[in-house]
Structure 1
Amino acid sequence: MSKLDKIIVALDQMSLDEIDQFLRQKENDLPFVKIGLELFVKYGPDLVHKISLEYKKKIFLDLKLHDIPVTVAKAISSLKNLPIDFLTVHLSGGEAMLKAAMAEARMSIPQCKVLGVSFLTSLEAKDLNDLFGITNTEEAFLRLFKTASDSGIDGIVSSPHEVGLLKKHYPHLLSVTPGIRFRDEIEGAQVQDQKRVMDPKEAFNAGSDYLVMGRSLTKTQNLSERLRLLKE
């Protein structure tokens, strides 16, 4: 399997024309894309079907569902037969919510893996302390990872900095990591709103199974060169 098969391109903050132009580039052989909340709210299931059928892409639907168990289950039921491979829910919704999500997903979208979002990559240690009173971040992540494992979900979405911790304690959980930037972007402080970032090579070495990359690929002036770096 090529490294490119493990790269998920986030189509966030793109218009339909921009998405079409990006996916039609002849050098673009990336097989996996992410549709976030903004795009799904705007264009709905039609966009998922279009990208799956017209461009033959695998779909990561990143909705980060977080509500009482019955509401999350009904939301997932509404996705029935949608061609999606990954779907996100918030781990902080608790074990009952996660189990309800898994039960419904197995019936309505059985091909889809359910991933639990830990803490957003836009949050850093100070934010976690201010918001949740967290002073020991490792302990906080471990609690979330245990909840994920106990609930039976398929994997975790977290920054690459937590992947080693996840794989050490729960190696059976899939690791999907946003917050990925090329080394030149990190050194040039071109990381936008993400705080806990890492470059692709470091993230794979840390144990990430899939990397989520957005503007680093969708806004680059030289996609061929960026893909060459990823293949290496």
Structure 2
Amino acid sequence: MSDEARDSTSESTSESPLAVYGLVAGITAVIGGAFWFALQPERSENETFFALAIPYFILAAYAVYRMRSRDELHLLRPRSGDLTFGALVAAVLYGLAFVVHALFTSPGEPHEGWIVRVYLLLGNPLSETRHLVALAVTAIGLCEELTWRGLVTPLLEPRLGALRGGGLSTILWSAAHLPSVWLLADPLAGPNPLLIVGTLGCGFAWSYLRWRMERLSPVLFSHGLFTWAIVELPLWSPPVNMPFSQ
């Protein structure tokens, strides 16, 4: 651990445990509530986007403010190797997502409906507007990273240790997606676990990358690139003759 990380840890331990755990629980509840609201069937694409973007933008802004007040903005500055490691992790995660899709949710598989429901949130994957959607979803992904690895993890690390703190942060991030299990359920495939599984897998990978690199810049790049690829290089595409509607 670097000297800067040690100084940050010593400062964090001065915060009240009750306040810290209350804040972490509150963040999880707010994001979980935002997902519950955003994924209601009657929501439009714009309503879904803003329901998730607004709380994440506020929390990400607070994360940056907290880092600035603690003289930790250096964690956001890219260094040599950040792009390489970030891209490598993003590529591995995309490859794993492709394998999971091929095994469980590809066309003709019993659980194809799971991935269809997820992509319906983004609109038509073949539409020209997907480029704007990709940018918007990537922006939310960056705010997610600032919230969970840039705010929640540093709050937990001084009390639980780096690995346990990062692990619990990932579990809470995944737990905030629990509404998607039922709200993105498919009549044939049943309750939808894709976002839960995806956030667990990606979250543990990005938490490890943050711990290994001791900064957020490679993690932000990796999360952003992975999210962009999921939209621009979709795992699922509707049939050409399919009348598309949300």
Structure number with bigger Rg: 2
* Larger relative contact order (Cα-Cα within 8 Å, sequence gap ≥ 6): 2
- Larger helix share, 1 or 2: 2
Query: TM-score by structure 2 length?
Result: 0.23
TM-score normalized by structure 1?
Answer: 0.24
